[in-house]
Amino acid sequence: MISFFLTVRRWSAITKFLSWFSLCLLLVVSCAPGKQTGNLPTPTGDGRITVGTTLKPRTLDPADTYELASLGLVFNMSDRLYTYEPGNTEIKPQLATALPQVSADGLTYTIPLRQGVVFHDDTLFNAQAMEFSMRRFMENKGKPSFLLSDTVESVKATDDYKLTIKLKRPFAAFPSLLAFSGLCAVSPKSYEIGAGKFQPNIFVGTGPYKLAQYGTDSLRLDVFEKYWGEKPANQGVNIQIQTSPVNLFNAFRTGTVDIAYLSLQPEQIRSLEAAGEKGDWQNITAEGSVVSYMVFNRNQPPLDQPEVRAAIAAMIDRQLLNQRVLLGQARPLYSIIPTTFKVSQPVFQEKYGDGNFQKAQELLTAAGFSPEKPAKVEIWHPSTSANRSLAAQTLKSLADREMGGLLQIEVNNVESATFFKDISRGLYPAALLDWYPDFLDPDNYVYPFLSCQKGSQSQGCQNGGSQSQGSFYYSQTMNKLIARQRQEQNPAAREAIFREIQEQVANDVPYIPLWQTKDYIFAHNGVNNVQLDPTQNLIYRSISKQ
C-alpha cells in the first residue's frame, strides 16, 4: 500500500482476518526470569485492569507484527514517532518533538527526537536507536516490512536527536505511516538486524508498560516506572485470552474480566447493550475504520460489462444488510473511503441510491439480458465468515425477489487460506471482503484497491493493487490521480483529487462499498476512561478502576 504495490500487500486483509480465527499461539516464554504459565487471577482491588479478548497474538516482534491481536499489544507497550488522539485521525508527536520538516521535492523528512527516554532494558533512546529500529523493520523482512521498504530510500541519525529519512518518491501520507504500531522504537541491546531474526516472545520498547508474562492464554503488563511521559492511571493490565466469543461473553457477564473487547458476535453485543442500557455495565462505541465491500473481477463475464456491475450497485440495499446481517451494528458505506475521513463522499448513494431495483433492471435490460437470458453472477466468500455468508445470501434473496429474473446470484464459499490465495489469481467473479487499514490516511483505501503498475485496458491489471485485490481494474486516468494525490502536500488540493477518485470508482464500479464497522467495548461500572485510538487499539494507559 505504500509506494509500488507488492504481491504480499494482499496479506493485510488476509492476516488480520485470520487473526480472529487463529487457534494457536507460540509456546509460553516469559521475558522475565522464571517462566510463568496459567490463567491470570480474576479482577481484584489491586488497581490492575483485566481485559478479556478472543484474539491470540502470533508474535510480539514489531518487525513481524501484522495482525490486530499483536498490534494492539505492541501499541500499548511502545512509542512511535507519531500517534493519534482518541477519536482523531490527525497525528501528533510522540517520540518526535514536532511534525517532520519536508524538503521542497517531498523526498527528505527531518524529524527532531525526544530526549530523556529510556528503553525497558535501560538502554538510552536516541536517533541511532530509532535508525536501528526502522532499519530492522525493513531488513528483517517481516510481514509488514514492505510498508517502509517500498517507500524509504534511507534512514539516518544525522545528530544525536535528529533523524533524516529519504523517500524513493514523494508520498504525502508518509507521516501517518510513521504512526503504524509496528514502527515503534525497540532496544538495540535486545534485538538484532537480519532477515528472519525475530524475537516473538519478548518486547523491549519505551512505552508505559513492560511485558511481565507472556502465556498461551494470558499476558501480564506491568507499569514501566521509568517511562518518560504521563504514567498509566492503573497499576498494570492483565489480558485474558478466551477460546471463543461465548466464553468472552460469559467471562464479562460473570465479572471475570473488567473489559470485553474483540470479538463478540452481533447477538452477544445486542444482549450486552440491552443490559448496559439498564445500568448493569457500560456500553462504549466508536466509529471503526474497517470497511466491508464487494469486489468484481472485470475479466469474468458478465461482470466484464459495466452495466452489470452498475446494476448490482443499484440493487444493493445497505440499510437492509446492516439490519439483517449486523443487527444495526455498522454504518452503511457509500464510498471506498470511510467516513472516518472528511474527504469521504457518498458517491454511490448519489449515483445509485439503495435498493433501486427499477434502475438495476433498466441497466441489465440495456445490456441485453432478459428473464430468458439472465445475468448469472457467482459471489464467493471465506467459509469462516458468518457475516459475509449471511450478506451473500441476503443479496441472492434480493435478486430473486426484486430483479424480475434478470439477475441470478449463486453463493459459494471456500476455506479462508484458499480464498485469499486464489483471489489474486482471478478465480472468483465476485467476492465479499473486509479491509483493515495499515495506517490512517485515505490513500490506504485507494492505492491498494485501484493502483496498477502493469496492465492494459483490454487485459486489465497484471501487477498491482487491483490485481492483488481480485478486481484486475485498470485505468490510466486512475493511476494518474493516485500519483497526484500521493505527491500533493496541500490538503485542499489533495481532497479535490480524492473527490475525483471516488467519482470514477462510482462510474467504473470495480468495487461496491457495503458497510463500515462500529467498535463495541463493554466495561463494568467503576472502570473509567475506556477509549480506542482510531486504529481500533484499546488504550490501556488511560483506564482506571475504582
What is the chain's pLDDT, residue by residue, as a tens digit (546 residues)? 333 333 333 334 444 434 433 433 333 333 333 333 334 444 557 899 999 999 999 999 999 999 989 999 999 999 999 999 887 889 999 999 999 999 999 999 999 999 999 999 999 999 999 999 999 999 999 999 999 999 999 999 999 999 999 999 999 999 999 999 999 999 999 999 999 999 999 999 999 999 999 999 999 999 999 999 999 999 999 999 999 999 999 999 999 999 999 989 999 999 999 999 999 999 999 888 999 999 999 999 999 999 999 999 999 999 999 999 999 999 999 999 999 999 999 999 999 999 999 999 999 999 999 999 999 999 999 998 889 999 999 999 999 999 999 999 999 999 998 999 999 999 999 999 999 998 999 999 999 999 999 999 999 999 999 999 999 999 999 999 999 999 999 999 999 999 999 999 999 999 999 999 999 999 999 999 999 988 889 999 999 998
Global pTM value: 0.85
3-state secondary structure of 79: coil
> Which triple of cell numbers denotes residue 24?
494457536
| DSSP code string of 101-166 | EE-TTS-EEEEEB-SS-B-TTSPBP-HHHHHHHHHHHHHTT-TTTHHHHTTEEEEEEEETTEEEEE
Beta strands in 245-327 (DSSP E): 259-260, 282-296
| Rounded-to-integer distance, Cα 73 and Cα 237, Å | 11
| Rounded-to-integer distance, Cα 542 and Cα 124, Å | 25
- Contacts of residue 276, Cβ cutoff 8 Å, sequence gap at least 6: 282, 283, 522
| Rounded-to-integer distance, Cα 381 and Cα 398, Å | 18
Which amino acid, 331? R
3-state secondary structure of 407: strand
DSSP 8-class letter at 444: G
Which amino acid, 284? I
The rounded Cα 294 to chain-centroid distance in angstroms is 17
> Which triple of cell numbers denotes residue 258?
473488567
> Which triple of cell numbers denotes residue 50?
483485566
Q: Do residues 418 and 429 touch, judged by C-beta distance below 8 A?
A: no
* Residues in a beta bridge with 545: 527
pLDDT digits (tens, 9 = 90+) for 406-435: 999 999 999 998 999 999 999 999 999 999
CA atoms within 13 A on the CB side of 367: 25
